[in-house]
Amino acid sequence: MSSLVGYLEGVGLLGPGLSDWQRGAHLLTGETPWAPAPTVIPVLNCLPSAERRRTGTPVRIALTAGLEATANAGVDPAGLPAIFSSSGGDGQNLHEICAALASGERQLSPTRFHNSVHNAPSGYWGIATGATAASNALCAYDASFGAGLLEALTQVHVEQRAVLLVAYDTQYPEPLRGARPIPDAFAVALVLAPERRPATLARLEVRLGEAPADDMPEPGLEVVRQGIPAARCLPLLAQLARKRSGTVVLDYLSPWTLRVEVGPGL
């Protein structure tokens, strides 16, 4: 595969001990010590009250990260194509559906049903922002962030327009947690453009490789990286937070990894 290039304009972040990109950047560089803390799940005031009551954790964290990234990039979210990538979607909702099907009633609420589809966050994104551009929903198990990044950069290259990438994951309740022990919720969003613009933060060039993926020097953040598929982006975010050129290697579909060259923005 030849390399794919895109220009980063905005970042959104939400995860354990990481409340947003501005504060998270200081933690990822080690400038401020990271402390473990459960992810704070936000309220989505961007949605009408009826839709807001129906949303679960995946929608809340995905939309929060996406809105932060577009605000930091200074772009209107309504005009961006979007890619939403998750390793498993809404685990809590899946648990509730399985519990209902195992009960004597075996009746599902319409809300449970429509939140069960993998593209539910992209639908709520359209409601919240008025976005009418195309959106894709992806899943590649533990490689879901890498798959989303490749898809976003491919669209940037082919369509020659900016694209929003949102990768997110949430924990599962028992007994599903025993088979898929994701410890907490995490979401990251990137606004990627085809050329340098005033808002450009960094140049990203991505190609396939086979070198081992980078880990996080801070042991607690390494636990987050390994435990939550969407958090496989953390080495890239740490490099971006340092505001320096360099190379990071991210997990992808074994035996492949993604080699990301991070260059200066302007």
pLDDT digits (tens, 9 = 90+) for 50-94: 788 888 899 999 999 999 999 999 999 999 999 999 999 888 888
Cβ(84)–Cβ(125) below 8 Å: yes
Q: The whole model's pTM is what?
A: 0.95
Helix (H) and strand (E) counts in the chain: 10, 8
DSSP three-state, residue 190: strand
- How far is Cα 110 from Cα 114, in angstroms, rounded to an integer? 6
What pLDDT was estimated at residue 266? 64
pLDDT digits (tens, 9 = 90+) for 213-236: 999 999 999 999 999 999 999 999
How many Å separate Cα 38 from the centre of its chain?
Answer: 17
pLDDT digits (tens, 9 = 90+) for 105-136: 888 888 887 788 888 899 999 999 999 999 99
- Overall average pLDDT of the 242-246 stretch: 95
Q: Evaluate if residue 155 carries a pLDDT over 90.
A: yes
What pLDDT was estimated at residue 114? 73
What pLDDT was estimated at residue 1? 63
Q: Which two tokens stand for residue 16?
A: 């354990």
- Overall average pLDDT of the 155-160 stretch: 97
Q: How far is CA 85 from CA 105, 169, 211, in A?
A: 33, 9, 24
pLDDT digits (tens, 9 = 90+) for 166-198: 999 999 999 999 999 999 999 999 999 999 999
For domain 4-201, the CATH class is alpha beta
Residue 68 CB partners (closer than 8 Å, separation 6+): 10, 11, 12, 13, 14, 20, 21, 189
Cβ(115)–Cβ(93) below 8 Å: yes
